[in-house]
Chain A
Amino acid sequence: DSGVTQTPKHLITATGQRVTLRCSPRSGDLSVYWYQQSLDQGLQFLIHYYNGEERAKGNILERFSAQQFPDLHSELNLSSLELGDSALYFCASSVEWALTLTNTEAFFGQGTRLTVV
């Protein structure tokens, strides 16, 4: 158990719909990262938040948005869903905004498997 909690574990929804994925980081971790994993693209970095503020953006579509709340949990919102959005969505957390600052690691949750039908 990494200490990172993601809900729900599985989600099946129709095209055009909107869903919210939730992530609770490990206790004490200020950074939250979101990744999308698909068979053809591998693990793609979406966005990084540190202590409530957006730190970096990766290959995140405009239909997707995220935020980190004062209690440090994070939500990833996916809207106008398309079949191609079906993937595993991972959240990871770490203590600092850069792993080498504290010689630490990013801890991953078990992911949310999103299926768009």
Chain B
Amino acid sequence: TQLLEQSPQFLSIQEGENLTVYCNSSSVFSSLQWYRQEPGEGPVLLVTVVTGGEVKKLKRLTFQFGDARKDSSLHITAAQPGDTGLYLCAGESSGGSNYKLTFGKGTLLTVNP
């Protein structure tokens, strides 16, 4: 069973602070995705990282894929209340025709004004 461990589980910070959340696994994934989910909504894709060591930036968000493609981090600079939400990482794997997108349990981020 492939598991994605996300940490921390909960994070409450003040507006303007920086933060990093982590996504770790013992398994190798062909790609890793980060989603944000708001209450009452489905997850929405933020970014996909494919290559080991890859770094992608999306405004104040920086995503990194580990060299071994087993872990990833999301760093947010100068967090804003609008960043509040559940951040989920998801690893894509396929063995022959058995394709899966496995999610971690998420980090619930609250940014206080």
Residues of A with Cβ closer than 8 Å to B?
2, 4, 33, 35, 41-45, 48, 55-56, 58, 90, 92, 97-100, 103, 105-111
Contacts and interface: CB of A to CB of B under 8 A. Distances in A.
Interface of B: 30-31, 33, 40-45, 48, 50, 88, 90, 92, 94, 97-106
Nearest to B6: A42
Contacts of B90: 43
Contact of A110 (B42, B48, B99, B100): B42
B40 A110 contact: yes
Given A100-B50, A100-B92, A90 B100 contact: no
14 contacts: A35-B103, A42-B104, A43-B43, A43-B103, A43-B105, A45-B100, A45-B103, A56-B99, A90-B43, A98-B99, A100-B30, A100-B48, A100-B92, A107-B45
A17 B62 CA distance: 46
Nearest to A92: B42
B42 A4 contact: yes
Contacts, number: 66
Interface SS of chain B: helix, strand, loop or mixed? strand
Given A99-B31, A100-B50, A45 B44 contact: no
Contacts of A111: 41-42
A18 B90 CA distance: 30
Given A2-B44, A111-B42, 7 more contacts: A43-B105, A44-B103, A56-B100, A58-B100, A97-B99, A98-B92, A106-B45
Given A105-B33, A105-B48, A98 B94 contact: yes
B47 to A, nearest CB: 9
B29 to A, nearest CB: 10
Contacts of B94: 98
Contacts of B43: 43, 90, 108
Nearest to B47: A105
Contacts of B42: 2, 4, 90, 92, 108-111
Contacts of B44: 2, 108
A42 B30 contact: no
A33 B88 CA distance: 16
